[in-house]
């Protein structure tokens, strides 16, 4: 009898330790830099588009484990609309998976904040847009700077996660989290590799450049960071535009509803798209040929306070 009780107790503690991340903290927190010279392919390089006379800029933040190539199309359109465009490569990304697994969310966001603060001092108007983890970082930029002298002018968050697995919220992103923290004690990643285009993709998803595989230690850092971002959503007072597809199979749509409910933006807009079934996850929306032009124009309309034809209709 006692043996059974002990076994059950051990299993429960095992699950609690893995699922709640009790006692977790990022080990690597020292500032690090991005090294463009080590990118694994040209498409992974940062994108910078500048023109003399522009007083406004937009900072675009890529996701996990992607690269600036996510914004190949939209960066050009934003630039043509009159904005200088900056798409940095976050440190650890787009180079070598062996180096990536040594880095943490704390370090990625620290780099982004330093990059953001430099731009904030250079431009009269500064917008921030991010997809997936980049969208989550965009929310965190708002939580960090809204209400202060370095506040962004407007934020756009696309398919951002703020919850990973939560029975309370009805969101299960991946059941494997139930044991991944334990596995991460023995290996930082599984099947880690670089990917320069996906032959099986369609609708633009074939033009994806980043890492593939299961990144346990960086992934745990990201999941842990979601909790603080979720807790501080109420600190976002800057204008905010949230976009998410209902069929997103990478970040559950329920995340969008949490953001909608808990943010405190002075000017909040939301777009819930419904893409048909495709050969991709309906997640990194600005990469898909079928919707990127329309969505980019909707974002520009939000940034410049214009109406889109659809809005007018």
pLDDT over 80 (residue 100): yes
Work out how many domains the chain is built from and give that number.
1
Q: 42 lies in a domain? A: no
Q: 116-134 pLDDT, tens per residue?
A: 999 999 999 999 999 999 9
Q: Looking at the predicted structure, is the pLDDT value of residue 301 above 70?
A: yes
Give the pLDDT score at 308. 58
Note down the domain range covering 26: 2-33+47-307
- Tell me which residue of 19, 77, 22, 26 sits closest to 47, measured CA to CA: 77
Copy the structure tokens of residue 203.
């609708």
The full 3-state SS of the chain, as one line of letters, equals CHHHHHHHHHHHHHHHHHHHCCCCCCCCCCCCCCCHHHCCCHHHCCEEECCCCCCEEEEEECCCCCCHHHHHHHHHHHHHCCCEEEECCCCCCCCCHHHHCCCCHHHHHHHHHHHHHHHHHHCCEEEEEEECHHHHHHHHHHHHHCCCCCCCCEEEEECCCCCCEECCCCEECCCCHHHHHHHHCCCCEEEEEEEECCCCCCCCCCCCEEEEEEEHHHHHHHHHHHHHHHHCHHHCCCCEEEEEECCCCCCCCHHHHHHHHHCCCCCEEEEEECCCCCCCCCCCHHHCHHHHHHHHHHHHHHHCCCCCHHHHC
Mean pLDDT of 23-28: 95
The percentage of residues in the chain with a pLDDT greater than 70, rounded to a whole number, is 98
What's the pLDDT score for residue 313?
31
Q: What is the pLDDT of residues 204-237, one digit of tens each?
A: 999 999 999 999 999 999 999 999 999 999 999 9
Its pTM stands at: 0.95
Any idea what the CATH number is for the domain that residue 6 is in? 3.40.50.1820
Chain center to CA of 267: 21
Q: How far, in whole angstroms, is CA 226 from its chain's centroid?
A: 11
Per-residue model confidence (pLDDT) at position 1: 77
Residue 173, domain member (yes or no): yes
- pLDDT above 50 for 197: yes
Confidence at residue 297, expressed as pLDDT on a 0 to 100 scale:
98
Residue 136 domain-assigned?
yes
Mean pLDDT of the residues in the chain? 94
pLDDT above 90: percentage of residues in the chain: 86
Asked if residue 78 belongs to a domain, the reply is: yes
Average pLDDT score over residue span 271-288: 95
Given this model, what pLDDT does residue 176 score?
85
Q: Which two tokens stand for residue 156?
A: 């756009």
pLDDT grade for 19, boundaries at 50, 70 and 90: confident
39, part of any domain: no
Q: What is the pLDDT of residues 62-81, one digit of tens each?
A: 999 999 999 999 999 999 99
pLDDT at 307: 65
Note the Cα 216 to chain centre separation in Å: 17
Do residues 161 and 244 touch, judged by C-beta distance below 8 A? Answer: no
Question: Shortest CA distance to 220 belongs to which of 161, 177, 165?
Answer: 177
| Average pLDDT value for residue range 163-179 | 91
Classify residue 57: in a domain, yes or no.
yes
Is residue 313 assigned to a domain? no
Confidence of residue 282 (pLDDT cuts 50, 70, 90): very high
């Amino acid at each position: 009898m006692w043996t059974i009780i002990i076994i059950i107790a051990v299993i429960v503690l095992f699950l609690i330790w893995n699922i709640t991340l009790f006692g977790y903290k990022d080990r690597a927190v020292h500032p690090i830099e991005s090294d463009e010279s080590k990118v694994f392919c040209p498409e992974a390089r940062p994108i910078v588009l500048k023109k003399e006379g522009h007083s406004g800029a937009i900072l675009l933040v890529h996701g996990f484990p992607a690269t600036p190539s996510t914004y190949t199309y939209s960066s050009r359109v934003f630039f043509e609309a009159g904005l200088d465009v900056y798409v940095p490569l976050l440190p650890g990304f787009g180079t070598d998976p062996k180096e990536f697994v040594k880095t943490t969310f704390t370090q990625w966001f620290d780099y982004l904040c330093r990059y953001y603060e430099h731009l904030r001092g250079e431009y009269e108007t500064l917008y921030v847009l991010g997809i997936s983890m980049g969208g989550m970082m965009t929310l965190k930029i708002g939580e960090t700077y809204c209400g202060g002298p370095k506040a962004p002018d407007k934020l756009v968050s696309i398919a951002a996660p703020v919850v990973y697995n939560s029975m309370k919220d009805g969101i299960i992103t991946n059941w494997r989290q139930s044991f991944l923290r334990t596995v991460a004690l023995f290996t930082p990643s599984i099947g880690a590799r670089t990917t320069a285009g996906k032959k099986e993709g369609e609708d633009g998803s074939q033009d994806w450049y980043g890492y593939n595989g299961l990144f346990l230690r960086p992934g745990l850092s990201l999941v842990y960071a979601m909790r603080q971002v979720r807790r501080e959503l109420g600190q976002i007072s800057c204008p905010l535009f949230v976009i998410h597809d209902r069929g997103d199979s990478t970040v559950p749509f329920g995340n969008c509803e949490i953001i909608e409910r808990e943010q405190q933006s002075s000017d909040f807009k939301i777009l819930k798209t419904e893409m048909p079934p495709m050969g991709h996850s309906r997640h990194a929306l600005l990469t898909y040929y079928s919707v990127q032009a329309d969505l980019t124009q909707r974002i520009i309309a939000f940034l410049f306070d214009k109406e889109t034809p659809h809005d007018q209709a």
